[in-house]
Amino acid sequence: MPESRSPSPPVEDLADAINAVDEILGPPLASGCASRAALRWGADQSLSFDELNTLVNRYGQALRNEGVKAGQRVFFLLDDSPELVAAYLGAMRVGGIAVALNMRLAAKDLLFILDDASPAVLFIHVDLLSLYREIEAALTTPPRLVVLGRAIAADDDLAAFLAGAGDVLTSMPRSPTDPAYWVYSSGTTGRPKAAIHRHGDMRVADLHLRINLGVQPGDRVFTTSKMFFAFALGHSLFGALRCGATVVIHAGWPDAAAIGEAVRRERPTVMLSVPTMYRNLLHEGVATDPAFRGVRHYVSAGEKLPEAVFEAWVDATGVPILEGYGTSETVFLAIANTPRSYRVGSSGRPLPWAEARLTDESGAAINMPNTPGRLALRMGSVFAGYWRQPDLSREFLHDDWYFPGDMFSFDESGWWYHHGRADDMLKISGQWVSPSEIEDCALTVEELAEVAVIGHANADGLIRLAMFAVPRSPIRDEAALARKVGDKLHATLSIYKCPRTIRFITELPRTSTGKVQKFKLRGLLEIATS
């Protein structure tokens, strides 16, 4: 993907000129929401839409004073905060490309990303400055640092950066296809990759929230994931603001106790989270707090939601979790359940502004229900490609269709079911097997808290199933529990879907996004058999 550093075209050359920030803040400001709270955080602190817009202008003007031009990258290594929101939007307002990074990056990944992208400016919290210092000397082109959170003033502090910046700023006109922001993948295998997203993405930012979930001014939207994740970025920073709703900001890494406190304090209308967090809130007894019954809608994405978690959540709160499917490459959900129409165990149906189709191994379209195939998506927010990875871009993008590498099927009623990654789908005895189907079945055994099923090659090179399970509490007789799990599987599933190996471990290895790292589980089997 070629580097984009071109100056902004003249307005007259842009018949469809827009700016992502005007698409986000323009609608609420034009519809009487200027004095309403756009952000809430901490102990009853808030910022109105008008105040946020002014702050965005100030950050944008400071970036312009720093010499940031259209197409240059502005990076953020910050916790969720009003400063992150204002600076992120300010970068896009002046035509820069905003990129929020995972605060838990390893030094080697941070070095790769900064060298790969050569950002003009890096906003960084003082607590993460030591991580940057580890790799600073190895950088080809070090960025201009803006440091937040220092107790003693210095030349690279935020206050010095903002000094002299005015609070009136006209957005730079951009084409809908011009890059506006990137989302880096978690990089669980191989090097991190940046999905390039455009100013035109914002035209679909609010649709699911507004049309399906009824989000409007006066509502409070709380996404438990950090804003460097696409899920939170798309549905809080972009979508909720565009709806004129209030975004609840939670500082610090989310855990069940902290999320429970935020729900009690802020009383969100809509809460978006991931299956791991819903499970943790249940297991730690937090979800039974009466405040959780006051949330109008719960949304889940990031990985398949176990039916057992759904059922336990309804028992605890009285409110269903609406599962959906999206990726870093779409930012917004493409397939989702809605309050009016949902089915437990499914990802929902393709949303009206998204097209979905399935193909078989030869690329032919699958039109038969209950036939797993590779998913392809087309919608207004599909990424433009991966930064400086043209081969990978061609692998995942074909004629405006994005192929995320996930396996799905749909039933006779049009409900879509996620069967995991294409490389997680397994052919056992000549038949496709979905690990998620086996995992859901095993989780009906009350002694199990988590389960992951993988495929591994036996001595003959044939793929066989293995299960790793995390018990809810210490077990005295592993063999007895393994027999109980095996009996449940054999009573429910076809014989070829029943793992021959069942191992118990204390926890499943996960990425920072909460996804199970199945390649590490395969490594545990290899160690055991070597």
Question: In the predicted model, is pLDDT for residue 16 greater than 90?
Answer: no
Q: What span, in angstroms and rounded, lies between the C-alpha atoms of 337 and 326?
A: 12
Instruction: Give the mean pLDDT of 229-237.
Output: 96
Exposure string of 187-196, with b = 16+ CB inside 10 Å and e = fewer, is: bbeeebbbbb
| HEC profile of 113-174 | HHHHHCCCEEEEEHHHHHHHHHHHCCCCCCCEEEEECCCCCCCCEHHHHHCCCCCCCCCCCE
List C-alpha distances in Å: 204 to 175, 182, 330, 347, 352: 16, 17, 11, 19, 11
User: pLDDT tens digits for 39-86?
Assistant: 999 988 999 999 999 999 999 999 999 999 999 999 999 999 999 999
Model pLDDT, residue 530? 54
Model pLDDT, residue 189? 43
Which one, of 268, 254, 267, 257, lies nearest residue 222 by Cα?
A: 268
Model pLDDT, residue 528? 63
User: pLDDT tens digits for 148-185?
Assistant: 999 888 999 999 999 999 999 999 999 999 999 999 97
pTM of the full predicted structure? 0.85
Percentages helix, strand, coil for the chain, rounded to the nearest 5?
35, 25, 40
Name the percent of the chain lying above pLDDT 90. 79
Model pLDDT, residue 3? 35
Which one, of 314, 325, 218, 323, lies nearest residue 267 by Cα?
A: 218
* Interaxial angle between packed helices 256-266 and 275-283, expressed in degrees from 0 to 180 and rounded to the nearest 10: 90
Q: What span, in angstroms and rounded, lies between the C-alpha atoms of 286 and 301?
A: 20
Contact 165, 62 (CB under 8 A): yes
User: pLDDT tens digits for 389-431?
Assistant: 999 999 999 999 999 999 999 999 999 999 887 877 787 866 7
Model pLDDT, residue 12? 43
Model pLDDT, residue 187? 43
Residues 6+ apart with CB under 8 A from 357: 365, 366, 375, 376, 401
Question: In the predicted model, is pLDDT for residue 4 greater than 90?
Answer: no
Model pLDDT, residue 188? 38
Q: What span, in angstroms and rounded, lies between the C-alpha atoms of 359 and 466?
A: 27
Q: Which residue has the higher pLDDT, 274 or 1?
A: 274
Q: Which two tokens stand for residue 139?
A: 């950088």
DSSP 414: S
Mean confidence (pLDDT) of the chain: 92
- The SS3 of residue 522 is helix
Model pLDDT, residue 306? 85
DSSP 474: -
Question: In the predicted model, is pLDDT for residue 11 greater than 70?
Answer: no
Q: Which residue has the higher pLDDT, 421 or 352?
A: 352
DSSP 249: P
Domains and CATH numbers, the chain: 1-202 (3.40.50.980), 205-423 (3.40.50.12780), 426-529 (3.30.300.30)
CB atoms near residue 171 (< 10 Å): 23
Q: What span, in angstroms and rounded, lies between the C-alpha atoms of 414 and 335?
A: 11
Model pLDDT, residue 436? 86
Which one, of 74, 80, 83, 76, lies nearest residue 56 by Cα?
A: 83
CB atoms near residue 217 (< 10 Å): 15
Contact 6, 71 (CB under 8 A): yes
Which one, of 264, 433, 402, 249, lies nearest residue 332 by Cα?
A: 402
Q: Which two tokens stand for residue 263?
A: 């729900």
